[in-house]
Amino acid sequence: MNRELETTNTEAMPEKWVNLEDIAEHLSVSTDTVRAWIKNGKLPYYRAGKRYKFKISEVDAWLRDGKITE
């Protein structure tokens, strides 16, 4: 029964936002490449003031769907 509660709590947790440097590291590319992809509309992102924020799951989905290409 405890195992069910743990699974439910994990699934309900919101996804953590990451910054430009984190997403560049996740994708094994430079921050300049990430900025170029943002400029060209090739990467899903959000703005928090002057900072870019990303959800890793959204970026991974774009990558799987072939929407990020060089």
b/e string for 28-54 if b means 16 or more Cβ within 10 A? eeeeebbeebbeeeebbbeeeeeebeb
Containing structural domain, residue 38? 19-70
Which among 15, 3, 6, 5 has a CA at the least distance from the CA of 60? 15
Asked whether residue 11 is assigned to any structural domain, the reply reads: no
Q: Over the stretch 59-69, which tens digit does the pLDDT of each residue have? A: 999 888 887 66
Asked whether residue 55 is assigned to any structural domain, the reply reads: yes
Q: Over the stretch 2-58, which tens digit does the pLDDT of each residue have? A: 555 455 555 667 888 999 999 999 999 999 999 999 999 889 999 999 999 999 999
How many domains would you assign to the chain? 1
Do residues 62 and 43 lie in contact, with contact meaning Cβ atoms separated by under 8 Å?
yes
| Residue count of the chain | 70
pLDDT at residue 65, as a whole number: 86
Asked whether residue 1 is assigned to any structural domain, the reply reads: no
pLDDT at residue 14, as a whole number: 86
Asked whether residue 2 is assigned to any structural domain, the reply reads: no
Residue 54: strand pairing partners = 18
Asked whether residue 24 is assigned to any structural domain, the reply reads: yes
